[in-house]
Amino acid sequence: MNKRNALRLMAAGAGWVGVGATLGLGLSACSETRQSFNAVDITGADYAKDFSLKDADGKVRTMADFKGKLVVLFFGYAQCPDVCPTTMTEMAQVKQQLGKDADKLQVLFVTVDPARDTAEVLKAYMGAFDPSFVALIPTADELVAVAKDYKVYYKKVDGKTPTSYSMDHSAASYVYDTQGRLRLYARYGAGVAPMVSDLKTLLAS
């Protein structure tokens, strides 16, 4: 190989190294900008985008009402013995730990037991955790539709009397960013700290 050809090969090699380095930096930048969450990232999901349900004051609410706030939406019922009160207690703690950003969080509670969860019952129930939490009360038909849209499972389990039944239901929460976009699926029992971390990440984005 003559000196001229050797120089050409060296120049070509340097060029490919430069391209590789550029691509590497590009890939690195992409990975750095991708957000990391504790909950399941479902950004871009084509379900659970919105709702139209009455709150405990009889006002029809939609996601648009809460634009500018992070929204955590949970399906449950007031007579739930464990999952629901645990989740609401944790969300009250999450709000406290957000500190100065506490007012940027809105917790929504959709009852899967509209027959027993009257407006009065749910006002008292929400008040026991945080007065800012909003309860949504679907009719029986609305519940069928919203549960299907949110891929939520619920089923009545008969008790010893007609009114002592319980409700089996999904136990996860849906998290929306301040633009009303569905972002996260938070499984039950994940804990307060992971939720606080995820919400802070969304607020910073």
Which residues, in sequence order, are CB contacts of 110 under 8 Å at separation 6+?
A: 51, 53, 73, 74, 75, 76, 135, 136, 138, 146
3-class DSSP assignment, residue 194:
helix
3-class DSSP assignment, residue 105:
strand
DSSP 126: H
Q: How many CA atoms lie within 13 A of 173 on its CB side?
A: 29
The two three-digit tokens of residue 82, written as one number = 């464990």
User: What is the tens place of the pLDDT at every residue in 33-51?
Assistant: 567 999 999 999 999 999 9
The DSSP code sequence of 48-93 is -----EEETTS-EE-GGGGTTSEEEEEEE-TT-SSHHHHHHHHHHH
Q: Note the pLDDT of residue 151.
A: 95
Question: Low-confidence residues of the chain, pLDDT below 70?
Answer: 1-34
Annotated binding residues for Cu cation: 80, 84, 169
The two three-digit tokens of residue 175, written as one number = 């998290």
Give bridge partners of residue 60 from the DSSP assignment. 54
* CATH-assigned architecture of domain 40-204: 3-Layer(aba) Sandwich (3.40)
Annotated binding residues: 80, 84, 169
User: What is the tens place of the pLDDT at every residue in 149-173?
Assistant: 999 999 999 999 998 899 999 999 9
Which residues, in sequence order, are CB contacts of 128 under 8 Å at separation 6+?
A: none
Q: Note the pLDDT of residue 34.
A: 64
Q: Are 190 and 182 in contact (CB under 8 A)?
A: no
Q: Note the pLDDT of residue 87.
A: 98
Q: Find, among 99, 76, 96, the residue nearest to 86 by Cα.
A: 76
Q: Are 188 and 40 in contact (CB under 8 A)?
A: no
Residue spans per domain, the chain? 1-33, 40-204
